[in-house]
Structure formats: C-alpha cells, structure tokens
Structure 1
C-alpha cells in the first residue's frame, strides 16, 4: 500500500526530470541531424549521421576554433580579475571600519536594481573614447567590478572569525598574506560559487559583445551563433551543434563544482 502511495510522487519527479533533461537531450540529438531531418514528422529521437558534417559546416561558417578561443580568453580573464576585485572589496567591507562604509555598501547594493541596458550607451561611449572598441579590452574592462560578487564575498567573510585574522597578524603576517593564507582557504566554497556565476555570465554574454565588436574575427561564441541565422534560410543543424558545444563547458564546470557552488551560495545567503 505504501508503494502505491509513492507512485504519484515518483511520476511527478519523473515528469520534472523529463522537463529539465528533455531540452538538452533534443539539443544533442538535433546536432547530429540535417536541417530537413530536424523538422521531419514524426520527430527523430535517435542520433543521426550528420554530426561531422554539421561540425565541419560550423567551422567553415564562423571559424569555430577562433571563436571558442575568443570566448575562453574573455571569460577566463574577466572571471579571474573580477573574483580578485570582489574578494578584496568584500574583505574591506567585512573586516575594516572606515568612514562612510555603510553608505558605500548601500550605494553598491543599489546598483543591483539598475538594468544593465541602461549602462550600455555610457560604457560604449567610454570605450569608444578610449579607442578600445572591437578589442578584448572592451569586453573585459566593463565587467571587472561585479556588485553581486562583492556582496557575496562580504557576506561570506562575515562568518570568518576576527580572532583568526588577529592571530595571523600577531604572528607578523601582512594583510595580503592574511588574505591569501587564512581567508582564501576558508572561502573556497564561496569562491567556487562566484567563479561559476561569473564564468557563466561572461560565457553567455551576448548583448554587449554584439555592440562592442565589429569584425567577425573578434566574435565570441554567442555572437557568432547569432550570425548563423538569416531571414532567407537558417541551417539549424549547425546552430544546434554550436549551441551544444557552447553548453558543454558550462555543464562540466557546474558538475565539477556543484557541491562548492551550492554550499557557497548557502553560506553567502545565511550569514548577516
């Protein structure tokens, strides 16, 4: 009788699983079919024989290797520097007292409610005046300070005992050494969560690279994939292939860091 009562929950969980995994399965399957096979009826839910053809067509259309290199470079450099900036700013807000500290923190939090589209024109004018449009710098520089990252680091650092830091200072360690030797090892879950968050945002960023880049050689993967779509005809086989390739690194990164990601977010959310 207890097994029968558990069936509705099992079916509900199976339905949720299918809704979550189904689109990714269809994406992987469609990447192996031709354009006509994707829209055939009944749908083909098994792998096709056009995997290498779609990959070759994608490479010839957008220069897949170059585009992937651009995306990895921008996402990695931007994420690493933004993590360092967020950690240093969060450390200052959490462990130091200075005039206007609360005011600055409130102003920082207030920027979270400003839509990103509002800042695009001022940032573009700034990058254009500096002569950085259509360069890696135009993609990296505007995103080095992330208010959410600073907030997450500050909340997580509040949980680090001040006595632990004072003991390191008494032993003669400077602030940077205290940060590196004491704080960073304790902050690994929060840093992993922030790394996933920042890398995902940089990897999938579309609007700003679309505006800041002018030559196909500088395109990142989202912009390059968007260029495959046209009014006359779109080869959805190579679009699906590109989308699958774009999704794969983030899936792997999240699976590797999922435990640290979840625990880091929970730590940042529960510490006041």
Structure 2
C-alpha cells in the first residue's frame, strides 16, 4: 500500500502536465466553433458557429486544393525519403569502412548549414529547369536528409550479420536481401522515420512559399498564413483551418505511435 502511495505524486504530476499539453489542442478545437470575438475573449466552451466558419473558410480559400497539395507533397516526400535514406543507412553500416565514416561525418556537418543559405541556389536551379509552381520542386530537396540516414544507420547496427551471410549463401541478391529481409526487420525504424518525414513535409512552409507562387498549388501552411494576412482576421475561421491542417499529422502519429517509440529507442541503443 505504501509503495502505491509513493507513486501518487508522480502520476499527479504527469496528469497535470498532460492537461497542460492537451489544452492548446482543446482550445483550437473549441475556437473553431466560435466567432472571432469569442476567440479573442478566450471562450473555453464550444459555440454554434462551426458550420458558419466552414462556409466562410470554403468561400475564402480553396481548402480542397491545399489539402491535396499538402498530402501529395507529404506522401511523396515520405515514400521517396524512406527508400533513399534506408538504402543509404543500410549501405553505410552493412558495407562499413573508414571512408564511409568520413562521408557520414560530412553529411552530419551538412546539418549545420541553415536552409536559408541554400534556398536561393535551389530556386535558381528549379527555375532554370522550369519547375517553379511544381510540387516536384518541393519534394526533391527533402527526400534525402542526414537525420534519416543516421537513424537508419544506427538501427542497422542491430541487424544480425549472420542473416546476411546465410542469405548470400542461399543466392539472394543484395537488393533481395534489402527488400525481403532488411525492410520487414526494420519496420519500427521505417515507422519512426515515416512519422518524422510526414510531419516535417506537411508542416513545411518556407520552401513551398518560395517555389509555389500560384495559389492554385498552395499548401495548408500557406493557406493559414493567407487567412491571417488581411487587415481583419477572422480567428474562428483561422482556428478551423489550423484544426484541419493538424488532423492528418495527429492521425498518422496516433496510428504509428508504438512503432515510432520502438524505432527511436532502437536507434538510440
């Protein structure tokens, strides 16, 4: 009994901290049902303006096109990044050498370069290729990142080399080993990398703002900024747009949260 009581303060602290963490989400959801004046007054109870705010949002912005653009960018970036970065991480560890350690160090140093320093050269390249206002130009720069390569490399250290040797003896090609053995074994790492990449690509604002000039191909973060860029901002409509933009990332994380925790833990070990 005494041991159980000792855990009460810890659970109480965690419960209070959870409420504080969930409060912004609650306030966002409640604000989407209230008027702009109610939001500014910090009303904490649901209102009856949800359908009115939906009508205003659909009248002001092309939400369907923005959601489609964001989904295509996030899904395309996630799929391509998982393929490229997992192969790179697999190669760095399975075919380990001192030269690859040096190359990995160079990749990690690249993480210290701010994106703003490479944004202008990137824009010039895609402008010369005629890819301005193309979703392809948003996806390509994000499909290979040092963070994901490092994540797969660290996780690959736990991959048993005996399986590789046995597969090679059985006559499997290196690609077959990767596709049929490595990928199923590293499901948790793929889930963790997928969640990180999807959320980053979905919430990305700076580069899409630069390369996607037309509103027809704007993403949800760009749409939200456009809603708040006028002389008068309807905060009820703005909160509704933020809520819609947050739902896909919340759903992806909830579906893969267990695998995400396992993948991150495996990489740290």
**TM-score where L is the length of structure 1:** 0.93
Q: Which secondary structure does the structure 1 equivalent of 2:227 belong to?
A: coil
| TM-fit CA distance, 1:8 | 4.3
Is 1:234 the counterpart of 2:227? The answer is no
Residues 195-232 of structure 1 show CA distances to partners (whole Å, capped at 9, x for unaligned) of: 00000000000011111111100100001110111352
In structure 1, C-alpha distance between the alignment counterparts of 2:23 and 2:137, rounded to whole Å: 37
Paired residues for 1:176-191 under 5 Å: 176-191=175-190
Aligned to 1:212: 211
Moved over 4 A (4+): 1-8
In structure 2, C-alpha distance between the alignment counterparts of 1:262 and 1:268, rounded to whole Å: 10
Q: Which secondary structure does the structure 2 equivalent of 1:238 belong to?
A: helix
In structure 1, C-alpha distance between the alignment counterparts of 2:141 and 2:236, rounded to whole Å: 34
Cα 1:5–1:170, aligned 2, differ >3 Å: closer, same or farther?
A: closer
Aligned to 2:267: 268
Aligned to 1:131: 130
In structure 1, C-alpha distance between the alignment counterparts of 2:73 and 2:14, rounded to whole Å: 38
In structure 2, C-alpha distance between the alignment counterparts of 1:146 and 1:89, rounded to whole Å: 10
Report which stretch shifted further, 97-106 or 120-129. Answer: 97-106
Residues 105-140 of structure 1 show CA distances to partners (whole Å, capped at 9, x for unaligned) of: 111111122222221112111111211111111111
| TM-fit CA distance, 1:141 | 1.1
In structure 2, C-alpha distance between the alignment counterparts of 1:13 and 1:248, rounded to whole Å: 24
In structure 2, C-alpha distance between the alignment counterparts of 1:153 and 1:71, rounded to whole Å: 26
**TM-score where L is the length of structure 2:** 0.94
Aligned to 1:171: 170
| CA-atom RMSD in angstroms | 1.7
Aligned to 1:70: 69
In structure 2, C-alpha distance between the alignment counterparts of 1:174 and 1:254, rounded to whole Å: 34
| TM-fit CA distance, 1:19 | 1.2
Aligned to 1:110: 109
Aligned length: 268
Q: Which secondary structure does the structure 1 equivalent of 2:86 belong to?
A: helix
Paired residues for 1:89-104 under 5 Å: 89-97=88-96, 100-104=99-103
In structure 1, C-alpha distance between the alignment counterparts of 2:167 and 2:229, rounded to whole Å: 61
Aligned to 1:31: 32
In structure 2, C-alpha distance between the alignment counterparts of 1:141 and 1:102, rounded to whole Å: 25
Report which stretch shifted further, 198-207 or 90-99. Answer: 90-99
Q: What are structure 1's unaligned runs of at least 5 residues?
A: none
Q: Which secondary structure does the structure 1 equivalent of 2:111 belong to?
A: helix
Q: What are structure 2's unaligned runs of at least 5 residues?
A: none
